[in-house]
Chains A and B, each alone.
Chain A
Amino acid sequence: MLKEKKPTLQSLHKRESNLAKGKAQLEYLSNGIFANGELPTFAQKIKESDDFPLRPNSLEILQINLGYMCNQVCAHCHVDAGPDRKEIMTIETMEQCLEVIKNTSAHTLDLTGGAPEMNPNFRWFVEEASKAGIKDFIVRSNLTIIRANKKNYDLPEFFKQHNVHVVSSMPHWTRGKTDKQRGSGVFDQSIKALQELNAVGYGMPESNLKLDLVYNPSGAFLPGDQKSMEQDFKKALLEDFGIHFHELFAITNLPISRFLDYLIASDNYEDYMYQLVEAYNQAAVKNVMCRNTLSVSWDGFLYDCDFNQMLELKVASKTQHISEYNESLLQNRNIIISQHCYGCTAGAGSSCQGAVTN
C-alpha cells in the first residue's frame, strides 16, 4: 500500500495568506478584545507605570538577520521562514553592516535568520565580523543545518575557530514534541548536531565555547520557570544522549506571523492574549530587549526588535537604514509598540536572551 505523504508546511508568504503582511497582523492585534475594552492595549498598560513612550537604554546588542531562507518550516516561526523564502542579505549590505560593527558601542553581535548559514556569504561575513573583536558573537543555529549538507559538517569547527557563541532551538527533550513543532526528523538530527558541537568542546562544563539552547513552548501556553526547565533539559539530554550545554533560554511565543495564524486557526487566540495580559510583569518592562537591541533586516533596514521587523515596523527615526546608521540619533527614538509586546513582558519576561527578570 502506498504511504500517504504528509503535507509539508509552507510559509504564509507562499500560501499568500493575508497574515503574511505585517499590517494585517497589526490590525488583528488591535481589534476584538483590545478594541472593545475587554483587555487594555499595551500602550494603556505601560502608561499605568509611566513607561510610555518606551525609550531605549544604552545599546548592547546588534542583531542582524541574514535572510529568511531556512531548511526548516517550524509551526510557530515568527519570521515565517522556510525553503520558499528567497530574501537573503547581499554582500553590499553585509559590507555596510561591517562598517557599523567596527564602530558600534554594542558588546554583542547576534546573527539570525532563517538559517543564517544558508546565506552564501555567511562564512565570509563571520570571518570579517569576528575581526572587529566584539565581546560576544552569537550565531543562532537551528542545529539541523549542520547535518543538512556535507559542506556544513565542519560548521562546529568553523564556529570554534571564530569563537562564536552558538544559540540553538530545542523545544523539548522528547522526539514527539520537538518534531511536532519543528518538523519530522528534526529531533534526531538536532541530537546528532549537539553531539558534534560537544565533540569540539561546545557546551562542555568549564568550556569557553558557549552553547545555549532556546526553549519555545510548543503550543498556546507560556514557558515555565527558566531555571527549572534548564534542570529538566540538562538531566534528560545528559542521561539519554550524553549531551551537555550551558544555559537554557525560555522564550515566549509572540502572537505574530505563523504563531498568530496557529492561535487563530486553533481558536486559542483570545485565551492566549488573556494569559499574556494576566501575566504582565511591570519589572520586565524595565529590561525588555528593544531597550538595548537594534535589529537589522536582510535588506538593511533598522527595527526596534526582530518582531517589529517581521511586522514591518521600521524604527521611528530619521535614520532607518544601516547605510545611514547613526547610533546617537537612533538612541533618541521612541520604541514602536503594539499588543504583541505583551509577549515580552509576561511572567519573568522574554527576550532573545531568555527571561529578563530573576
Chain B
Amino acid sequence: MASKNYYDPADLRKFGNITEWSKELGEKFFEYYNSVFQEGALTAREKSLIALAVAHTEMCPYCIDAYSKDGLQRGITKEEMMEAVHVGAAIKSGASLVHGVQMMNKINKLEM
C-alpha cells in the first residue's frame, strides 16, 4: 500500500528492490556503488565523511540516516561529522553567493 508520506524511513531497507523493475541497470548501479566505497586512494572513513556531506547538500533523508550510522560504526566523532556537514554547507552557500558576481556583471552592464 502506498504511504501517505513522501519519505518513509522503512523505504531505505527496500532500496535494493529497485532491481526488480530493471535488473541489469539496478545491479550495475549497486556494483558501482559498492566499488566506490571500497578503500582506495581515499580511505573508507574519508569516503563516509564525503558521503555524509553530500547527503546534506542533496538533502536526502535516507542518505543522512545511512551515513550518520555509518560514521558511528566507523568510530567517527560527532565533531568530525558536523565539520563535514559544514564543508558541504559552505560549498552550497558559496555556490549561491558566487552567482552574485553574475548579478553584479549583469547590473553593471545594464546600468548607465
At the interface with chain B, which of A10-18, A51-59, A217-225?
A217-225
Contact of B72 among A217, A232, A278 (CB under 8 A): A217
Contact A228 B74 (CB under 8 A): yes
| A172 with B75, Cβ < 8 A, contacts A228-B45, A274-B13 known | yes
Is A229 an interface position by the 8 A CB rule?
yes
A228: chain B residues at CB < 8 Å are 44-45, 74
Is A174 an interface position by the 8 A CB rule?
yes
Please classify the interface of chain A as helix (H, G, I), strand (E, B), loop, or mixed, using the class held by over half of its residues: loop
Q: How many residues of B contact A (CB 8 A)?
A: 10
State in angstroms the CA–CA spacing of A278 and B9 once bound together. 16
Interface centre among B73, B75, B77 (most CB of A within 10 A): B75
Is B69 an interface position by the 8 A CB rule?
yes
Contact A217 B73 (CB under 8 A): yes
Contact B75 A222 (CB under 8 A): no
Nearest B residue (CB) for A171: B75
Contact B69 A224 (CB under 8 A): no
Please classify the interface of chain B as helix (H, G, I), strand (E, B), loop, or mixed, using the class held by over half of its residues: helix
Contact B73 A221 (CB under 8 A): yes
State in angstroms the CA–CA spacing of A223 and B74 once bound together. 7
Contact A221 B45 (CB under 8 A): no
A172: chain B residues at CB < 8 Å are 75
Nearest A residue (CB) for B45: A228
- Which residues between 51 and 107 of chain B lie within 8 Å of chain A, taking CB atoms? 69, 72-75, 77
Interface size class of A (residues with CB under 8 A): 10 to 19
B9: chain A residues at CB < 8 Å are 271
A174: chain B residues at CB < 8 Å are 77
Nearest B residue (CB) for A270: B10
B74: chain A residues at CB < 8 Å are 224-225, 228-229
Q: What's the minimum C-beta distance from A218 to chain B, rounded to whole angstroms?
A: 8
B75: chain A residues at CB < 8 Å are 172, 224, 229, 232
A229: chain B residues at CB < 8 Å are 74-75
Contact A222 B73 (CB under 8 A): yes
| A221 with B69, Cβ < 8 A, contacts A228-B45, A274-B13 known | yes
Q: What's the minimum C-beta distance from B108 to chain A, rounded to whole angstroms?
A: 51
- Which residues between 4 and 60 of chain B lie within 8 Å of chain A, taking CB atoms? 9, 13, 44-45
State in angstroms the CA–CA spacing of A217 and B69 once bound together. 11
State in angstroms the CA–CA spacing of A228 and B75 once bound together. 9
Contact B77 A224 (CB under 8 A): no
State in angstroms the CA–CA spacing of A72 and B75 once bound together. 23
State in angstroms the CA–CA spacing of A232 and B73 once bound together. 13
Interface centre among B9, B45, B69, B72 (most CB of A within 10 A): B72
State in angstroms the CA–CA spacing of A59 and B76 once bound together. 38
State in angstroms the CA–CA spacing of A222 and B44 once bound together. 16
State in angstroms the CA–CA spacing of A232 and B43 once bound together. 13
Nearest A residue (CB) for B72: A221
Q: What's the minimum C-beta distance from B18 to chain A, rounded to whole angstroms?
A: 16
State in angstroms the CA–CA spacing of A221 and B74 once bound together. 10
Q: What's the minimum C-beta distance from B78 to chain A, rounded to whole angstroms?
A: 8
Q: What would 16 A/B residue contacts be, using CB atoms closer than 8 Å? A: A172-B75, A217-B72, A221-B69, A221-B72, A221-B73, A222-B73, A223-B73, A224-B73, A224-B74, A224-B75, A225-B74, A228-B74, A229-B74, A232-B75, A274-B13, A278-B13
